[in-house]
Amino acid sequence: MITLAHVNKIYQIDGEEFYALRDINLEIKQGEFTAILGPSGCGKSTLMHIIGLLDTPTSGTLLINNKDITKLDDNELSRLRNEFAGFIFQQFNLINKLTVLENIMLPTIYSAKKYSYEPKTRALELMDRFGILIKQKSYPNKLSGGQQQRVAIARALLNEPKIILADEPTGNLDSKTGKNILDLIRELNQKEGMTVVLVTHDREIAESCQRHISMLDGKIV
């Protein structure tokens, strides 16, 4: 499904090269639940951004379903990203001026795909599934952290992505709520076969996943 071969990501900082990623070789198969584990600054979020097409490698090859994404133009890349990946972030990344329903439906605004379903109906079904249907007209700043993350998960699923990318999805939650959110994500993988890549600094969370990859100083160790 996803193949990275000799991927490097280099940033220029004060005239010097900084390697966020060094010679990354990795394959993620369809249906896997993979955790990327490591301390802050190790490159795990950068790796997730490249897998999710939010960023591009400085060098190396990234294949998505055997398609070399380095050969795509910006419009093709944006279209593939919108249809391929659903994102869940530590900070939720909800827009406070929009209602819960409007936040969940945001991906449809930027998508050129023809839907085989009615997006609003799917949004309502996802809210019902995650226990937030009663909050559809509420605004994010009126929700608990767990409710906000459920909104973010519903938004990530709206476009029926091929992969869910979760960057420290429990980082801003208490332990009980965090466990509930992890259980939801795990259910997507186990019952629906959704491919999941989860970034975490918590070894216990990583070891509870089907597979975990450790990173340090931009390298897979």
CATH (domain of 202): 3.40.50.300
Tell me whether residue 176 is in a domain.
Answer: yes
Q: Which three-class secondary structure state does DSSP give residue 114?
A: coil
pLDDT digits (tens, 9 = 90+) for 144-154: 999 999 999 99
Contacts of residues 132-137 at CB distance under 8 Å and 24 or more positions apart, as own/partner, are: 132/100, 135/100, 136/99, 136/100, 136/101, 137/99, 137/100, 137/101
Tell me whether residue 1 is in a domain.
Answer: no
Tell me whether residue 134 is in a domain.
Answer: yes
CB-based burial of residue 15 (10 Å sphere; 0-12 exposed, 13-18 middle, 19+ buried)? Answer: exposed
pLDDT the model gives residue 111: 66
Query: Would the pLDDT of 64 be above 80?
Result: yes
Question: Smallest Cα–Cα separation from 157: which of 148, 167, 165?
Answer: 165
- Report residue 75's pLDDT band, with 50, 70 and 90 as the boundaries: confident
Question: Smallest Cα–Cα separation from 133: which of 104, 166, 169?
Answer: 104
Tell me whether residue 116 is in a domain.
Answer: yes
Range of the domain at 99: 30-56+71-220
Query: Would the pLDDT of 113 be above 70?
Result: no
Tell me whether residue 85 is in a domain.
Answer: yes
Tell me whether residue 34 is in a domain.
Answer: yes
pLDDT the model gives residue 138: 97
Q: For tokens 């409007």, what's the residue?
A: 102
Counting residues of the chain whose pLDDT is more than 70, the rounded percentage is 98
pLDDT digits (tens, 9 = 90+) for 16-58: 999 999 999 999 999 999 999 999 999 999 999 999 999 999 9
Tell me whether residue 8 is in a domain.
Answer: no
Total number of domains in the chain: 1
Q: What angle do CA 99, 185, 85 make, to 5 degrees?
A: 70
* Rg (the chain; Cα; Å): 17
pTM of the model: 0.91
d(CA 108, CA 110): 5
More confident residue, 164 or 107: 164
Tell me whether residue 7 is in a domain.
Answer: no
